[in-house]
Amino acid sequence: MDIQQFELRKREHIDQALDPRNQAVGRTRLEEIHLSHEALPDLDFDELSIAESCFGRELATPFFVAGMTMGHPDAASLNELLAIACQERGWVMGVGSQRRQLEGRSLPGESARLRRSAPRALLVSNLGISQVITAKTSEIRSIVDELEAQALVVHLNPLQEALQPEGTPQFRGGFAALERLVRELEVPVLVKETGSGMSARTLEKLAQVGVAAVDVSGLGGTHWGRIEGARAPAASRGSQAAQVFSEWGESTVDSVLAAREALLKTAHPRYCIWASGGVRNGLDAAKLMALGAERVGYAQPALQAAMGGEGVLHRWMEQQEFELRVALFCTGCATPAELRKKEGVWSRGRS
């Protein structure tokens, strides 16, 4: 694929991600989770703290912006805006796929410029599993080092790769490649889906690999099968298959619960549960934390807010933080950690 085709595809991905038709609305199952109301919380609202540690750093929030786009001119200013906001508000930021950088076809100095724009931000590098399988650890290390990233996330997107004409659906050897990377890379290795969630079987295997965190990225937000279907020619094989698989995936709630159960079944090092996929407000975030998530992420809503400029983005981020605090106060919890540990704070089956 030449540079022009690559950049066109990335621009199409941004446009399609903002199209409501490509959101699997109502599939997170978050509406089934009920948080018990504490009418007399034994604390003051100003006592609440949503600060959480991440990779040895204390951050002001338990939120992250999931990686979305990288490697084309339109992405640079967008990523810089997000990185600066995340630095100022204490959010983690994942960058978009650095595949193009790995292949030596990236925009010169893109990662270095992003780091200079937000020198104190906790940034997470990003590569697809297909690239991790074939790349040398030294090559992967170089893209992490240029960004001065504190971690690397490996994204899994089998549905998208299978439907995308330019896709790379070569996943054989993925678990072995992850084990090698965990062993050889100096920064923590995370694994994330891209909107189709994770089954119990996958999560149990990942628990044995030794990754630092798993972002389940469940069904309910941006659906990349739908996006690739929208990009495909009408009545083509890909377009028709995308309709068949338009609801494919494991819900965000089911994925988080499966991740928690997987940790109970393994004697291997514990991974942190991160959750994204259809999170739309601070109450959604609180529900996922009550289920066991240690960090909760946003993709399309953050992108949409960023498109409105710095002021809109900061107000949107502040709103998520405020709503999480309200949820903590009304469940009688002073911190997200307390919410995760509190018995009987959530139930299922009530909308």
Tens place of pLDDT per residue across the chain (351 aa):
555 555 555 666 677 777 889 898 999 999 999 999 999 999 999 999 999 999 999 999 999 999 887 666 678 899 999 999 999 999 999 999 999 899 886 677 889 999 999 999 999 999 999 999 999 999 999 999 999 999 999 999 999 999 998 899 999 999 999 999 999 999 999 999 999 999 999 999 999 999 999 999 999 999 999 999 899 888 899 999 999 999 999 999 999 999 999 999 887 778 999 999 999 999 999 999 999 999 999 999 999 999 999 999 999 999 999 999 999 999 999 999 999 999 999 999 754
* DSSP per position, 58-95: EES-SEEEPP---SSHHHHHHHHHHHHHHHHHT-EEE-
Which pLDDT does position 5 carry in this prediction? 57
Task: Burial-class residue 225 by CB neighbours within 10 Å (0-12, 13-18, 19+).
Answer: buried
- Taking CA 186 as the corner, what is the angle to CA 180 and CA 187, rounded to the nearest 5 degrees? 100
- The model's pTM is 0.93
Token output for 318? 């502040």
Hey, what CATH topology would domain 3-348 get? TIM Barrel (3.20.20)
* DSSP per position, 215-257: E---BTSB-HHHHHHHHSPTTSHHHHHHHHTTT-S-BHHHHHH
Which pLDDT does position 14 carry in this prediction? 73
Q: Which helix (H) or strand (E) holds 315?
A: helix 310-330
CB-based burial, 162-178: b 16+ in 10 Å, e otherwise: ebbeebeeebeebbebb
CB 102 within 8 A of CB 144: no
| Distances 21 to 52, 126, 225, 342 between C-alpha atoms, Å | 34, 26, 12, 37
φ, ψ of residue 41 in degrees (nearest 5) = -65, 135
CB 28 within 8 A of CB 253: yes
Which pLDDT does position 16 carry in this prediction? 76
**Is beta strand 213-215 parallel, antiparallel or unpaired with respect to 189-193?**
parallel
Residue 325 DSSP SS3: helix
Domain ranges of the chain: 3-348
**Is beta strand 122-128 parallel, antiparallel or unpaired with respect to 151-156?**
parallel
